[in-house]
Amino acid sequence: MAGRLEGKVAFITGAARGQGRAHAVRMASEGADIIAVDIAGKLPNCVPYDPATEEDLAETVRLVEETGRRIFASVVDTRDLDALRKAVDDAVAELGRLDVIVANAGVAAPQPWNEITPESFRDVMDINVTGTWNTVMAGADKIIDGGRGGSIILISSAAGAKMQPFMVHYTASKHAVTGLTRAFAAELGKHSIRVNSVHPGPVNTAMGSGDMVDAVGRAMETNPQLAHVLTPFLPDWVAEPEEIADAVCWLASDESRKVTAAQIRVDQGSTQY
Ligand SMILES: NC(=O)c1ccc[n+]([C@@H]2O[C@H](COP(=O)([O-])OP(=O)(O)OC[C@H]3O[C@@H](n4cnc5c(N)ncnc54)[C@H](O)[C@@H]3O)[C@@H](O)[C@H]2O)c1
């Protein structure tokens, strides 16, 4: 039986590991060829968890190829629009088309409001906002050229639906992703390109590695009252990357063909009150 994305091509940022890898593998298993990029290296100083590696990106390549689909992977920083354009142009020249963009690359840094430096504020906004804008700008023309419409999915967060305490920069950046979603959805709609944001709650990825848990704990001590502001309705607090990929794959597929400018929360209900 044909997959739900048979014959399509998807461009995914932050694909070396975590949710980006899950999206790549899931979409490939549904029949899509993949264009994958990742910085696969050093993240800004304010980020307390371990960076992804080139080996991580190679593992994504292996897993996608295991599904029988093709993948073009490259080490690119989403802050570099020229490099992103080149990665997309080169891959589309081989794969022939582009249908789906998933702007997934992002960074988080737990810091109490008065410990956020101008540098860390700028770093988080550069990657999460400008990098997301760059990602759309690098690929949208290619979807338009195909004349078949398409789907653009911008990965926001519970922080972009409610807020995340001790992350003023991250919260601001993920709300900005919602603004990008609505604004692009309006103008790209005439090309039958849908643009939606996905808002995961906590997800079990390497974002929780390294010094992340300690850094969250230290920030929480400055205002313990905020510890439960993202309490879920469902019993489980944390999702697996594949559970976010379910929603992303649905948005990429024709099953969501009437859905655009929507905020899809995959957060166990944690942002509802
Ligand atoms: N993990 C969570 O709890 C959670 C919750 C809500 C939203 N999110 C969002 O989901 C997305 C994916 O995060 P994840 O949980 O898979 O974390 P992750 O750190 O495992 O994956 C993010 C990937 O993005 C890459 N990346 C970071 N900056 C980049 C840049 N400038 N250019 C290219 N690649 C870059 C990293 O190298 C990494 O491979 C992010 O946008 C994140 O903000 C995560």
Q: What pLDDT, on a 0 to 100 scale, did the predictor assign at position 1?
A: 56
Residues 184-223 have pLDDT tens digits of: 999 999 999 999 999 999 999 999 998 999 999 999 999 9
What atom in ligand 1 is closest to the CA of residue 158?
A: 6
Q: Dihedral through CA 198, CA 200, CA 203, CA 209, nearest 10?
A: 80
- Pick the residue whose CA is nearest to atom 7 on ligand 1: 157
For residues 32 and 69, the answer to whether their CB atoms sit within 8 Å is yes
Q: What pLDDT, on a 0 to 100 scale, did the predictor assign at position 180?
A: 98
Please name the residues in contact with 105: beta carbons below 8 A apart, sequence gap of 6 or more. 13, 14, 20, 37, 38, 39, 78, 127, 131, 132, 135
- CB of 230 within 6 A of ligand 1: the answer is no
Q: Which residue has the tokens 């589309």?
A: 92
Q: What pLDDT, on a 0 to 100 scale, did the predictor assign at position 91?
A: 98
3-state secondary structure (DSSP) of residue 220 = helix
221 burial class (0-12, 13-18, 19+ CB within 10 angstroms)? exposed
- Pick the residue whose CA is nearest to atom 41 on ligand 1: 106
CA-CA distances (angstroms) from residue 29 to 6, 25, 65, 159, 249? 9, 6, 10, 30, 10
pLDDT-above-70 percentage for the chain: 100
- CB of 164 within 6 A of ligand 1: the answer is no
Q: How many CB atoms lie within 10 A of CB 172?
A: 17
Q: Which of 11, 49, 133, 170 is catalytic?
A: 170
Residues 13-55 have pLDDT tens digits of: 999 999 999 999 999 999 999 999 999 999 999 999 999 999 9
- CB of 14 within 6 A of ligand 1: the answer is yes
Query: Going from the N-terminus, what domains does the chain have, and what CATH number goes with each?
Result: 9-272 (3.40.50.720)
Averaged pLDDT for residues 118-138: 98
Distance 20 CA to ligand 1 centre (A): 7
- Pick the residue whose CA is nearest to atom 1 on ligand 1: 203
- CB of 104 within 6 A of ligand 1: the answer is yes
> Best of 26, 38, 212 to mutate for ligand 1, by most ligand atoms within 8 A of CB?
38
Q: Would residue 170 show up in a list of annotated catalytic residues for this protein?
A: yes
- CB of 116 within 6 A of ligand 1: the answer is no
Averaged pLDDT for residues 67-75: 98
Q: What pLDDT, on a 0 to 100 scale, did the predictor assign at position 273?
A: 77
Q: Is the pTM of this model over 0.95?
A: yes
